[in-house]
């Protein structure tokens, strides 16, 4: 290597690293520090050690939120990936072989655009949209139809047993399009010869999917799982706009970000909210590490 | 916090974010809150960290030198005539015009040499928190809206100016009358907080007169020949009649306005057992929520909810349910007298809002049927550590003058806590009826403070009230649950406690 390499590299790194340290690392560190205080937004914070964390331990709202993240963490990736894989398979491979090229079902170019559409909309718009879809009275999109044909309205967001699932439905609806595109890209890079060989050997579409597509997509799936898992730790905007009584009914849809918001900006408990933020930080990190470790596999070369 | 004791309270709630069909001032704040909230969730916690670090480092700097002037008959508070004054107004339901066009002009007339810096915001705490931390607070603040500064935290940090001197100063209109004697009784006390040294001092001026009750359409009642019930039997009998007509008799919005309902339940409890029931609740006394009158009232209203309500209302926002009433699909709606103004655009001609006090529950009620909850809403304070706190107090004195109050009423259509200001002013039918009810109630006017003092208790009461009114909890479970939270708050040393 030539001389003067290090000053050159350092020169380029200095600014971004400084910006990162000041705007990302320092605030994080300070959130950790604040989590040990009973700061209420004004005045001097008072050091109280781990009291906030002890309080967290006995906070039912916190545990409810954690539990909801657990459900989201399982349901959101599973449902989204399953649907997205199914659609991507149909769009790319489902139509069989045409002139040596694998093609999707008829009109797949059109579907591709339609599926991606929800991804383009802002989360806030989606939430407001689904407010109309889920409305409990006859002016709601679904309940309007139900009441017209003489059925009882379904209380999507009011029924405590249904509310969280209604919200998961929205999250899935929004996410699927992106993963269809992601998986499509992955599938496009699978060589056609493999499919042809399998078909000659008499493989059905189901076998093709499970024996060829899925294993060769593993890396992409892993990425999708981590992304969706991290999305499952957020869900704030949808819950904030859509749920009744901010995370209700009776905390049935609350998430950690909602509780952080509530504590920081409604109750004025900045210190306690920071403690929740710290908890969320560790939950997310743990998840990401676990997801990458557990799903580790030999990637298949082709 | 003024933010909950008045019409701005539903603007506080993050869940109030809703569609574009809202009045502009409300709508914009509700819509932007989402974006801000989303950013805040990620950004503000770390940002708060930065502030915290600053606060720990530099909270001992000497207070800034404060401006004082010569006291005189026209300047009883001793304002330095040319001292600048900074005014921060929450730009919400009342807008900012009343400040720029009325109060600031009055101050300027009294002190022509003073320079007034005016700023309006929809996020008071976002704008002001750093300034308090830096020791450079503005003189006068309208602390309201969804992002108000926590009054308790401000009091605890000695940030608020003791207003005793203002209340004892001679009023603008009559030098022989103290300012405190020109306002509705109870307003000074309402703004009192326990200072850090334990003494109770007036720190906050609640300026807008707010009357709570149950609202109905004068036209609907006249057309059907219904009379306003004063007893529980009359009330339920009328609800039956209304239901028979295919109109929902009673409803409130569960999605974001459940506190309209706990307000009714507690108002009822105060009538049954006297206002001390509410005082016990405010003071976090043991088993205050489980007192017999409270349970009795919760039971009665749970029945109303089950028999005369609409289950779908739990999922609707206040504006949605209010719209139902404007469409004559809902008869009774509990709210405060900001309702008429809030619904102005959606109210059909001739609808005629009318307020009815909560009817008596039993013949043995301690308060008469006409007793009512009324209070000052919209909180204003002067910063003790600002450069010109005397100017801030003088600004309040001008607000509380006849001209100041009248100007406010004419600009925003709401009554102030200065009765002389709205004398002879012709209010629209709804506010006229609430003002008449207030007058008729005489001394039987009461208020409650717990939701302003302990936001968490308010939240718990809202959640529990939805459970009660929509049939998922009994009155006992409702009371138990809120009592538990009240006890937890009482035992929490980090929460500043207040009493009255």
* pLDDT digits 0-9 by tens, B289-343: 999 999 999 999 999 999 999 999 999 989 899 999 999 999 999 999 888 888 8
CB contact under 8 A, B45 and A31: yes
> Over 80: is that where the pLDDT of A2 sits?
no
State mean pLDDT over B5-32. Answer: 35
> Does residue A33 sit at the B interface (CB-CB below 8 Å)?
yes
* Best CA proximity match to A209, nearest among A86, A98, A102, A109: A86
Q: Mind listing the pLDDT tens digit for each residue in B38-82? A: 333 333 333 433 444 443 333 444 455 677 887 888 889 989 888
Quick one: pLDDT band at residue B31, thresholds 50, 70, 90? Answer: very low
| Whether A217 contacts A84, CB under 8 Å | no
pLDDT of residue B48: 39
For residue B334, list its beta bridge partners: B214
Which of B52, B59, B314 comes nearest A158 by C-beta? Answer: B314
| Whether B484 contacts B287, CB under 8 Å | no
Q: What residues in B contact A262, CB-CB < 8 Å?
A: 14, 459
Q: What residues in A contact B470, CB-CB < 8 Å?
A: 158, 249
Q: What residues in B contact A274, CB-CB < 8 Å?
A: 45, 48-49
CB contact under 8 A, A43 and B258: no
Which residue of B49, B319, B323 is the best one to mutate when testing the A interface, meaning the one whose CB has the most A CBs within 10 A?
Answer: B49
pLDDT of residue B14: 34
CB contact under 8 A, B38 and A123: yes
- The token pair that represents B429 in the structure block: 């039918």
Residue B225, Ramachandran bin (φ over 0: left; ψ between -120 and 50: alpha; else beta) = left
- The token pair that represents B129 in the structure block: 């928190």
Q: Mind listing the pLDDT tens digit for each residue in B132-180? A: 888 899 999 999 877 788 887 888 888 999 999 999 999 999 999 999 9
pLDDT of residue B382: 96
Helix, coil or strand: residue B373: strand
Distance from CA of A113 to the nearest CA of B (A): 27
pLDDT of residue B49: 38
Distance from CA of B314 to the nearest CA of A (A): 7
Q: Angle, nearest 10°, between helix axes A26-34 and B24-58?
A: 80
State mean pLDDT over B248-276. Answer: 94
Sign, CA torsion A168/A171/A177/A178: negative
Most confident of the following: A21-25, A212-216, B16-20 = A21-25
* Best CA proximity match to A255, nearest among A216, A284, A226: A284
Task: Give the largest CA-CA distance in chain B.
Answer: 70
Residue pointed to by tokens 């809403």:
B377
The C-alpha atoms of residue A18 and residue A24 are separated, in whole angstroms, by 10
Quick one: pLDDT band at residue B278, thresholds 50, 70, 90? Answer: very high
Identify the residue with better confidence: B207 or A92. B207
The reply to whether omega before A207 is within 30° of 0 (cis) is no
> Does residue A240 sit at the B interface (CB-CB below 8 Å)?
yes
Identify the residue with better confidence: B63 or B285. B285
* Best CA proximity match to B168, nearest among B186, B188, B153: B188
| Whether B155 contacts B195, CB under 8 Å | yes
Which of B18, B40, B494 comes nearest A38 by C-beta? Answer: B494
Q: Mind listing the pLDDT tens digit for each residue in B235-256? A: 999 999 999 999 999 999 998 8
Distance from CA of A288 to the nearest CA of B (A): 18
The C-alpha atoms of residue A91 and residue A158 are separated, in whole angstroms, by 37
ipTM rounded to 2 decimals: 0.83
Neighbours of B95 (CB within 10 A): 16
Distance from CA of A198 to the nearest CA of B (A): 49
Q: Mind listing the pLDDT tens digit for each residue in A166-176? A: 999 999 999 99
Distance from CA of A290 to the nearest CA of B (A): 23
Q: What residues in A contact B55, CB-CB < 8 Å?
A: 39, 43-45
pLDDT of residue B51: 40
- Residue B38's closest chain A neighbor by CA? A237
Q: How far apart are the first and last CA of chain A?
A: 35
Identify the residue with better confidence: A114 or A255. A255
Q: Which residues contact B456 (CB under 8 A, 6 or more apart)?
A: A267, B485, B489
Most confident of the following: A40-54, A108-122, A205-219, B475-489 = B475-489
The C-alpha atoms of residue A24 and residue B46 are separated, in whole angstroms, by 8
pLDDT of residue B429: 92
pLDDT of residue B106: 94
The C-alpha atoms of residue B192 and residue B204 are separated, in whole angstroms, by 7
Q: Mind listing the pLDDT tens digit for each residue in A247-285? A: 879 989 999 999 999 888 888 888 999 999 999 999 988
Residue pointed to by tokens 């308790």:
B152
CB contact under 8 A, B18 and A264: no
> Between residues 248 and 277 of chain B, which touch chain A (CB distance below 8 Å)?
254-256, 258
pLDDT of residue B367: 94
pLDDT of residue B35: 37
Q: Mind listing the pLDDT tens digit for each residue in B458-499? A: 999 999 999 999 999 999 999 999 999 999 999 988 788 888
| Whether A178 contacts A116, CB under 8 Å | yes
Q: Where are the alpha helices (DSSP H) in A140-269?
A: 141-148, 163-188, 192-200, 205-207, 214-216, 218-232, 236-242, 256-261
| Whether A245 contacts B262, CB under 8 Å | no
Identify the residue with better confidence: B44 or A295. A295
The C-alpha atoms of residue B464 and residue B222 are separated, in whole angstroms, by 36
Q: What residues in B contact A277, CB-CB < 8 Å?
A: 45
The C-alpha atoms of residue A239 and residue A231 are separated, in whole angstroms, by 13
For residue B90, list its beta bridge partners: B121
pLDDT of residue B37: 37
Helix, coil or strand: residue B323: helix
> Over 50: is that where the pLDDT of A227 sits?
yes
pLDDT of residue B84: 92
Quick one: pLDDT band at residue A185, thresholds 50, 70, 90? Answer: confident
pLDDT of residue B15: 34
> Over 80: is that where the pLDDT of B444 sits?
yes
Which of B154, B254, B455 comes nearest A267 by C-beta? Answer: B455
Q: Which residues contact A162 (CB under 8 A, 6 or more apart)?
A: A154, A155, A156
The C-alpha atoms of residue B406 and residue B393 are separated, in whole angstroms, by 19
| Whether A81 contacts A228, CB under 8 Å | yes
pLDDT of residue B203: 94
pLDDT of residue A100: 63
> Over 70: is that where the pLDDT of B350 sits?
yes
* Best CA proximity match to A299, nearest among A207, A176, A216: A216
Quick one: pLDDT band at residue A301, thresholds 50, 70, 90? Answer: low
Identify the residue with better confidence: B309 or A92. B309
* Best CA proximity match to B266, nearest among B367, B415, B128, B168: B367
Element at A107 (helix H, strand E): none
Q: Angle, nearest 10°, between helix axes A270-294 and A60-92?
A: 40
The C-alpha atoms of residue B278 and residue B301 are separated, in whole angstroms, by 17
- Residue A276's closest chain B neighbor by CA? B45
Which percentage of chain A shows pLDDT scores above 70? 94
> Does residue B149 sit at the A interface (CB-CB below 8 Å)?
yes
- The token pair that represents A281 in the structure block: 């930080």
The C-alpha atoms of residue B1 and residue B204 are separated, in whole angstroms, by 9
CB contact under 8 A, B315 and A248: no
> Between residues 114 and 143 of chain B, which touch chain A (CB distance below 8 Å)?
125, 129, 132-133
State mean pLDDT over A138-149. Answer: 89
State mean pLDDT over B359-370. Answer: 93
Give the distance from CA A84 to its chain's centroid.
Answer: 14
CB contact under 8 A, B15 and A240: yes
CB contact under 8 A, A244 and B15: yes
Which percentage of chain B shows pLDDT scores above 90? 61
DSSP type of residue B315: G
- CA-to-CA separations, B359 to B228, B229, B231, in angstroms, rounded: 9, 7, 5
Which residue of B252, B494, B495 is the best one to mutate when testing the A interface, meaning the one whose CB has the most A CBs within 10 A?
Answer: B494
> Between residues 330 and 349 of chain B, which touch chain A (CB distance below 8 Å)?
none
Distance from CA of A65 to the nearest CA of B (A): 15
Which of A37, A240, A277 comes nearest B45 by C-beta? Answer: A277
């Amino acid at each position: 290597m030539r001389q003067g390499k290090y000053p050159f590299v350092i020169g380029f790194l200095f600014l971004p690293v400084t910006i990162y340290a000041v705007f990302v690392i320092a605030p994080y560190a300070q959130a950790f520090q604040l989590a040990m205080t009973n700061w209420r937004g004004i005045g001097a914070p008072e050091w109280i050690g781990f009291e906030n964390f002890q309080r967290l331990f006995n906070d039912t709202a916190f545990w409810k939120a954690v539990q909801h993240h657990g459900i989201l963490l399982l349901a959101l990736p599973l449902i989204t990936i399953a649907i997205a894989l199914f659609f991507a398979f149909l769009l790319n491979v489902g139509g069989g072989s045409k002139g040596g090229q694998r093609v999707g079902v008829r009109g797949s170019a059109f579907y591709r655009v339609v599926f991606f559409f929800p991804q383009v909309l802002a989360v806030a718009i989606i939430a407001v949209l689904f407010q109309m879809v889920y409305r409990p009275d006859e002016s709601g999109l679904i309940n309007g139809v139900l009441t017209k044909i003489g059925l009882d309205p379904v209380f999507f967001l009011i029924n405590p047993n249904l509310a969280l699932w209604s919200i998961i439905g929205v999250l899935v609806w929004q996410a699927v399009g992106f993963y269809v595109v992601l998986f499509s890209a992955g599938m496009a890079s699978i060589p056609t010869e493999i499919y042809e060989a399998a078909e000659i050997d008499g493989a059905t579409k189901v076998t093709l999917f499970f024996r060829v597509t899925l294993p060769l997509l593993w890396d992409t799936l892993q990425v999708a799982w981590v992304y969706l898992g991290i999305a499952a730790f957020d869900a704030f905007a949808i819950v904030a706009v859509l749920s009744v009584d901010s995370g209700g009914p009776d905390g049935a849809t609350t998430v950690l970000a909602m509780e952080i918001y509530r504590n920081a900006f409604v109750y004025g408990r900045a210190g306690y909210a920071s403690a929740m933020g710290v908890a969320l930080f560790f939950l997310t990190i743990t998840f990401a590490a676990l997801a990458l470790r557990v799903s580790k596999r030999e990637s298949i070369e082709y | 916090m003024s933010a909950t004791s008045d019409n701005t309270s539903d603007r506080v709630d993050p869940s109030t974010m809703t569609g574009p069909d809202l009045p502009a001032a409300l709508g914009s704040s509700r819509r932007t809150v989402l974006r801000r909230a989303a950013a805040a969730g990620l950004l503000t916690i770390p940002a708060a960290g930065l502030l915290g670090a600053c606060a720990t480092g530099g909270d001992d700097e000497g207070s800034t030198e404060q401006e004082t002037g010569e006291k005189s008959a026209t300047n009883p508070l001793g304002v330095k005539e040319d001292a600048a004054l900074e005014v921060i107004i929450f730009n919400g339901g009342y807008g900012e015009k009343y400040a720029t066009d009325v109060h600031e002009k009055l101050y300027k007339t009294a002190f022509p040499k003073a320079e007034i810096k005016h700023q309006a915001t929809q996020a008071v705490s976002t704008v002001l928190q750093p300034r308090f931390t830096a020791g450079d607070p503005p003189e006068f603040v309208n602390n309201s809206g969804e992002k108000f500064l926590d009054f308790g935290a401000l009091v605890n940090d000695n940030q608020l100016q003791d207003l005793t001197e203002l209340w004892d100063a001679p009023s603008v209109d009559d030098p022989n009358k103290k300012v405190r004697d020109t306002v509705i009784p109870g307003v000074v006390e309402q703004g009192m907080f326990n200072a850090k040294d334990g003494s109770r001092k007036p720190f906050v001026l609640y300026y807008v007169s707010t009357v709570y009750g149950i609202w109905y359409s004068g036209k609907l009642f006249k057309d059907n020949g219904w009379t306003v019930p004063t007893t529980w039997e009359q009330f339920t009998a009328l609800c039956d009649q209304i239901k028979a007509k295919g109109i929902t008799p009673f409803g409130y919005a569960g999605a974001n306005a459940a506190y309209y309902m706990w307000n009714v339940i507690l108002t009822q409890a105060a009538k049954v057992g006297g206002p001390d029931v509410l005082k016990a609740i405010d003071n976090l006394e043991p088993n205050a929520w489980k007192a017999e009158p409270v349970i009795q009232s919760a039971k009665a209203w749970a029945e109303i909810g089950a028999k005369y309500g609409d289950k779908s209302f739990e999922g609707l926002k206040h504006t949605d349910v209010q719209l139902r009433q404007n469409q004559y699909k809902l008869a009774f709606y509990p709210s405060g007298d900001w309702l008429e103004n809030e619904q102005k655009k959606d109210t059909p001609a001739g609808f005629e809002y009318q307020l009815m006090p909560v009817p008596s529950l039993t013949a043995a009620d301690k308060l008469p049927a006409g007793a009512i909850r009324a209070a000052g809403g919209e909180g204003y304070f002067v910063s003790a550590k600002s450069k010109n706190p005397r100017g801030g107090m003088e600004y309040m004195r001008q607000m509380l003058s006849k001209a100041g109050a009248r100007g406010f009423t004419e600009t925003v259509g709401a009554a102030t806590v200065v009765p002389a200001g709205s004398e002879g002013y012709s209010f629209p039918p709804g506010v006229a009826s609430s003002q008449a009810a207030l007058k008729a109630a005489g001394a039987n006017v009461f208020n409650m403070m717990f939701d302003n003092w302990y936001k968490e208790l308010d939240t718990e009461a809202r959640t529990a009230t939805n459970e009660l009114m929509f049939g998922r909890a009994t009155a006992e479970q409702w009371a138990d649950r809120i009592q538990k939270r009240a006890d937890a708050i009482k035992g929490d040393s980090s929460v500043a406690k207040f009493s009255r």
